[in-house]
Chain A
Amino acid sequence: MKASTFTFAGGLAIVPAIERDAVEKYQLLTKDEFMEYATLSQTMPGVIALNCATLVGRHAAGFLGMLAAGFGAILPAFSLMVVATVLANMVPQQGPILGAMRGIRAASAALVLSAAFSLGKYNLKSGFAIILMVAAFLLVVAGNIGAPLIVVLSGVTGCIYQRIKRYRDKRRSDAN
């Protein structure tokens, strides 16, 4: 089964790693086909690296290929993370180690914040986007509303807003 070779991709299953092995090494698909799947895997919901693996696996070797590629992407991450979690829980939390942990946690919070900043640079290009961002932030922090509900609401808001906008643009151009 050709696609079982996919078990490699796992761990570092970031999209370029899949590209290198699937396109160049095993020639399961062309570069253009791969780019198509890479874009698709970012548009559809779910884990991006896993989406990419299942799409490529399905393309290369059908349903079984999808399963092989998918498990290849999950298993290394899963097993390494179990080991890391067990080890992290064994570390005694006192003295200098507690100090180190507190430093790491502070840095970690800052890195999540900078992730929000860098993502914001690409996604906040209109007044509508900024309002949605602020609303989502306030609803979680002050309103204590769960994130999944906010995702659903913001998706619906996006749909309604774009429709109204297209309707208005159309009327405006009809009037001219």
Chain B
Amino acid sequence: MLIECFRLFYTFIKLGFLSFGGGYAMLSMIMSEAQSFSVSPAQFADLNALDMVVPGAIAINAATYVGYLHQGLPGAIAATAGVSLPSFILTVVIMRFFAHFKDNVWLTDTLSGIKPAAVGLIAAAAITIAANVLILPGKNIGDLRINPLGTLSLACIIIFILTAIFNLRFKVNPILLTVLAGVVGALVMA
């Protein structure tokens, strides 16, 4: 228990120090680490939906969620403390030593590599989640290779495509789209 909480703390403090560029970039990193805390991609999809309705920074919500699923309340505290600590440490360090931190050439060079890579990481997270949630209940992702058509859920795929189109092309509010997807899912897939 204590060891697992420490592992959560350590993992999330590492993610905190490495995450540049906001919520979704960090979310994709948390997902890549979450499997070692037995959080499945489907649970991660739930997290993303919860994130939209629960106010607060995405990364703090995500740390709390993964920590809670893995080790209950102590785990949630350990993960949240881990993801938050870098902000406190860096604030002290930056305000003391780097008057022109944001103009630092090393930093802008490093970010020129990390920002595009973060896009790839988020896309990879989306594909991993999609592969795991667009299949029929009772099937698992290995069945995709053997019998793709009998494994995939047509209704889920249509919801997936329509949500992406309505959000990207028509800028429909994500919360509204999520609620609609839930209603359609309850009616069609009951």
Contact = CB atoms under 8 A, between A and B. Distances in A.
Interface in A1-58: 10-13, 39-40, 42-51, 53-55, 58
Contact of A82 (B64, B90, B111, B188): B64
Contacts of B137: 98, 102
B32 A134 contact: no
B28 A147 contact: yes
Contacts of B160: 106-107, 109-110
B117 A141 contact: no
Interface residues of B, number: 107
Contacts of B73: 82
B76 interface: yes
A130 B48 CA distance: 26
A80 interface: yes
A40 B94 contact: yes
A78 to B, nearest CB: 5
Interface string A81-120: 1101110100000011111111111111111111111111
Contact of B56 (A10, A39, A116): A10
- Chain B CB count within 10 A is highest, among A84, A116, A146, for A116
Contacts of B22: 42, 48
Given A43-B107, A45-B90, A111-B52, 12 more contacts: A46-B19, A105-B42, A105-B45, A106-B134, A106-B185, A112-B122, A124-B119, A133-B123, A137-B120, A155-B111, A156-B113, A161-B109
Interface of A: 10-13, 39-40, 42-51, 53-55, 58-59, 63, 66-67, 70, 73-74, 76-78, 80-82, 84-86, 88, 95-120, 123-124, 128-130, 132-138, 140-141, 146-148, 150-159, 161-163
Interface of B: 14-29, 31-33, 42, 45-46, 48-50, 52-57, 59-61, 64-65, 68-69, 73, 76-77, 80, 83-84, 86-88, 90-92, 94-95, 101-102, 106-130, 133-134, 137, 153, 155-157, 159-161, 163-164, 167-168, 174, 177-178, 180-190
